[in-house]
Amino acid sequence: MCGVAAGDPDPFGTERTVRLTMGHIIDKSKGGDDSPQNLRAVCTNCNEGLQNTGLPKPDQIHLLAQVRRATIDDQRAVLNWLLQKFKLKVVE
């Protein structure tokens, strides 16, 4: 929901890393069930409702600006994450 992955540093600034858990897409209080179609991996913060209000999705211009301002190491980390996500390889 918030975009973090298992093992990322906890965005709430604790020394923990993010753990994923199963969450309901439609909450059981709203008639959702335990079927696989109604379950998804969510981080514990989202599952506990800490981020149910949702961080706004970054828009492209600000996101690119953030990446441009990041250190080379962080840009590399973003690149590697994208390469993995889209199953691509850098040809050197």
Is residue 43 at the binding interface for Zn ion, with CB under 5 A as the rule?
yes
Q: Looking at this protein, which amino acid is placed at residue 39?
A: L
Which spans in the chain are helix H? 44-47, 60-69, 72-85
As measured in angstroms, the least distance from the Cβ of 45 to Zn ion is 5
- 46-65 residues in contact with Zn ion (CB under 5 A) are 46
Nearer to Zn ion, 8 or 74 (CB): 8
Distance CA(12)–CA(9), nearest Å, equals 9
As measured in angstroms, the least distance from the Cβ of 22 to Zn ion is 13
Rg of the chain on CA atoms, in Å? 16
Residue ranges that bind Zn ion, judged by CB under 5 A: 1-2, 43, 45-46
